[in-house]
Amino acid sequence: MTVFQNIQRGLIPARLTVEEVYALTESGVLREGERFELIDGEIVPMAAAKYSHHERMKSRLVRAFNLSVARDIGVFIESSVTLDGSTLTEPDIALWPAHRDSEDVRGPELLLVVEIAASSIGYDLRVKAPLYGAHGVREYWVVDAVRQTIRVHRAPAGGSYTDVAEYEAHDPVTASLLPGISVRLDSLD
């Protein structure tokens, strides 16, 4: 039974805390690997299927990041990130100090968060960007895997980003907190 079926049957409350999500997963009520995020206490389903543009781009970026970062920086793929007691996201790629567990890392400690969009561009820009900005994530990239662009969000202040720029596939984009990471979408292997 999926988390959504359990909610519909009244087995799981409509609003949860991150702590309750972890407890429900540990007890087996929620299946590990089930695709959802917790946004302000509400479970938001994520697409079960990934599109080839999305997966190909994610693979290329992960490879580029792993080749570029220092050993003390972790490159985490689809790891749960706790932004506050009622918000748990699962970005496509997130980088933070390798010694920190995902349950303990918070917005300002995230060095780079990347969402890759093939069909979720609106959600990633209209929901996720303000959410990450409000929680102090210092740099957030939305990579449009179809159009081959990167929308870079920096300098969170007052619940949003004050510096937003879009780059084309031929433009080099460097992570401000990780200067060893510089990518051009048109030259990724």
Q: Are residues 89 and 40 in the same domain?
A: no
Q: Are residues 25 and 114 in the same domain?
A: no
Q: Are residues 56 and 39 in the same domain?
A: no
Q: Are residues 40 and 62 in the same domain?
A: no
- Domain count for the chain, please give it: 2
Q: Are residues 144 and 100 in the same domain?
A: yes
Q: Compute the chain's Rg from CA coordinates.
A: 16
Domain that includes residue 25, residue range: 3-45
Q: Are residues 35 and 124 in the same domain?
A: no
Interacting residues of 177 by C-beta distance below 8 A, sequence separation 6+: 111, 112, 138, 139
Q: Are residues 120 and 150 in the same domain?
A: yes
Q: Are residues 148 and 93 in the same domain?
A: yes
pLDDT at 108: 92
3-state percent helix, strand, coil for the chain, nearest multiple of 5: 30, 30, 40
Q: Element (H or E) spanning 181, and its range? A: none
We report the CATH number of the domain holding residue 151 as: 3.90.1570.10
pLDDT at 13: 60
Determine the Cα–Cα distance for residues 152 and 129; give it in Å rounded to an integer: 10
Q: Are residues 90 and 171 in the same domain?
A: yes
Give 34-93 pLDDT, tens digit per residue.
777 788 888 887 766 566 888 999 999 999 999 999 999 999 999 989 999 888 899 999
Q: Are residues 66 and 28 in the same domain?
A: no
Q: Are residues 57 and 128 in the same domain?
A: yes
pTM of the shown model: 0.85
Given a cut of 70, whether residue 8 has pLDDT beyond it is no
Q: Are residues 89 and 34 in the same domain?
A: no
